[in-house]
Structure 1
């Protein structure tokens, strides 16, 4: 059973990870049910992030879905309202579960609401995740950071990339998607929001042209502030892959992501990556020959221009969604079947009305 507040039609790294891992698990013969906001729950938009719908009053339905499915393993992927409700059910019924850390949520909250201290965000996250059996984390640096903050039961869970969709063969088709603008092209792909630190890229003095792909609450503000930048809106699938492939450098300015799937997607098309030495980039890029990291983003961008596109592709081919899914299943530690049957018999009894004596 996978419980997540982030699911289609949302478009972000968390959703891509969970949907691809689900597909791979199904292909490996596992049976999966996903509890997500689109299952008919009453919802409300997350303040400042309306693309995410928060499910309300979901606990009763989650209990019924748990009873009907009788999962051998439960994974709670997000800390939203569905994740909170599922966590409460698991604790109430003494069901083991795992969680994963996809986003530096406290930093996101503080970036949007500066009056909420970072310490409070991490206190909540420790409370949420330490109740689970294992906390899956994407990179060594993120694991180290969380351990320093007092998190427990941390285990690695790497990510993957679609190397067929994101492919070097898509570069230069019909002259390329950037044939009418001055190169080199420095590209950003992702949500246009304050926590993504995009302005640190847009302010950098670079040759050629900067291009931004993606929707988000900061889009109109940045369009007005940086009229020389090409803002192309949201893109998906083959269209997005072509833009990755035709760029000269992909720039990843975020300081709050825990991995950054777009880094691998860019590399898979042969485009090198420039970034700050933050969790994700500093785990993936140094020593790869597929990009550059530096506290000086301009320096990283110019250094990445020198990278071999062939080496970028070769490096990205080392990440597969199948190996990502296999590691995920291994981390779940499913209940043995006899133990599973015992657990669900006990839970079914909890739901029966107590029989009154006849006399």
Structure 2
């Protein structure tokens, strides 16, 4: 089987969406499925406003169509609501080809955090994008419930996995004797990082990552260790060196960093928001509460062996199989459904027979 993935987030970007699909591609290959990727580097691009390191593809309808046709894929999955996603969405609708999508990012919340834009506008935009999808994959139950209340339809669960071999406990201490309170992720206003940095905590605060707010926060909090971007074994070592992983975000839809932390045996302190409340068992793998300082201090007392065990329920093989199950069942239902006026659905398989 061959799946065409359309995504505006791809290497060299470093974020949860990119890492999800890189690992999904590996797991699908082991299962006999090829993931063919259409991403921004295949088009002319401009820098994204406020995030110049993120390229935005310029519309190229013919190039997009040629790639899709040459890929000879069995099915199409659209990961993002950016220019690449819109081009592939338009091609599918023009040709009556059903497709699936994923809801990865609360762009409505991100936009309202940076500009005076009502959240309702952003959600209306995303709802319109996903409306023709045969199945919208979401990472958590709480996110599914929230989106359902906002009018999104055909929602399907799709969890994530964690590499238990890479992310593992260690006695190595990179940032001093501690206690070490760690944040890993994008350094941007929508991540609510100052809710962590402003806390009165003992020991050391460490931030791993990069982003548009890095310079501002580094100047405002000179006592914080900003360790830059880390990947692979260096990232795993940073996790394992921490005593508590602090996750201040209120807008993430999942938070792969939560799984990486608990796989490293590091308990999580977080607000009871979407993502943490779906992944973390408060009092076992972390502490959730509206008082982030109290949660961070309480997390210091948790059993790191039990924290590690909590991550074992999340495997990439199971996540890849669920992705395939979602694609197949969603598209079967779409093709079996009554034809919508003005929309003549073609068979799911795009590959030449």
TM-score of the aligned structures, taking structure 1 as reference length: 0.90
Cα distance in 2, alignment partners of residues 123 and 93 from structure 1: 25
> Which of 7, 12, 28 in structure 1 is aligned with 2:10?
7
8 A Cα contact 1:42 1:56, kept in partner: yes
Whether 1:193 and 2:195 are equivalent positions in the alignment is no
SS in 1 for 2:52: strand
Q: Structure 1 residues 339, 307: closer, same or farther in 2, change over 3 A?
A: same
> Which of 310, 313, 316 in structure 2 is aligned with 1:321?
316
The 5 Å alignment of 1:1-359 reads 1-39=4-42, 41-113=43-115, 115-168=116-169, 171-173=170-172, 176-179=173-176, 183-287=178-282, 289-333=284-328, 339-340=347-348
SS in 1 for 2:53: strand
SS in 2 for 1:33: strand
**How many pairs are equivalent?**
336
Instruction: Name the Cα RMSD after superposition.
Output: 1.7
Q: Deviations over 1:123-153 (max 9, x none)?
A: 0000001110000000000000000101000
Segments of 5+ residues of structure 1 without an aligned counterpart are: 346-359
Q: Deviations over 1:3-32 (max 9, x none)?
A: 000011100011000110011111111122
8 A Cα contact 1:4 1:78, kept in partner: yes
TM-score of the aligned structures, taking structure 2 as reference length: 0.92
Q: How far apart are 1:51 and its partner, in Å?
A: 2.1
Cα distance in 1, alignment partners of residues 88 and 28 from structure 2: 21
Cα distance in 2, alignment partners of residues 286 and 109 from structure 1: 30
Moved over 3 A (4+): 338-341
Cα distance in 2, alignment partners of residues 287 and 154 from structure 1: 27
SS in 1 for 2:46: strand
Cα distance in 2, alignment partners of residues 136 and 32 from structure 1: 17
Cα distance in 2, alignment partners of residues 90 and 319 from structure 1: 33
Cα distance in 2, alignment partners of residues 309 and 58 from structure 1: 51
SS in 2 for 1:232: strand
Segments of 5+ residues of structure 2 without an aligned counterpart are: 333-345
8 A Cα contact 2:282 2:288, kept in partner: no
8 A Cα contact 1:58 1:82, kept in partner: no
Q: How far apart are 1:57 and its partner, in Å?
A: 2.1
8 A Cα contact 1:249 1:304, kept in partner: yes
